[in-house]
Amino acid sequence: MTGLFRSLYGKRIIVQGLGNVGYYASKILQEEDGAKIIAIIEHDGALIDAHGLSVESVRAHVVETGGVTGYPHAKFQTNGLAALELE
């Protein structure tokens, strides 16, 4: 009746910040709802992958290095806010 979608499966999502809230929200959206996290923005830039990023893998990299710079499995972009304009 509200016109809202019942499923997020396959939906493309951009996450701004992978702190506690961003991490758990994106983890649940990815693992339980089947959403694709196509970009993660952090203080040092953004990671982008149209096929979807592994939230667990990115989180481990951020914890180890302090940011997303140098993450080997996605395109890195220094202007993180530009990722908010992705389709």
CATH of the domain at 31: 3.40.50.720
**Taking Cα atoms as reference points, which of 58, 49, 48 lies closest to residue 81?**
48
What is the 3-class SS of 16-73, one letter each residue?
ECCCHHHHHHHHHHHHCCCCEEEEEEECCEEEECCCCCCHHHHHHHHHHHCCCCCCCC
Residue 80 domain-assigned (yes or no): no
Residues spanned by the domain of 56: 12-70
Task: Give the total number of structural domains in the chain.
Answer: 1
pTM: 0.91
What per-residue confidence (pLDDT) applies to 6?
A: 74
Residue 43 domain-assigned (yes or no): yes
22-55 tens-digit pLDDT: 999 999 999 999 999 999 999 999 999 999 999 9
Q: Are 42 and 14 spatial neighbours (Cβ–Cβ below 8 Å)?
A: no
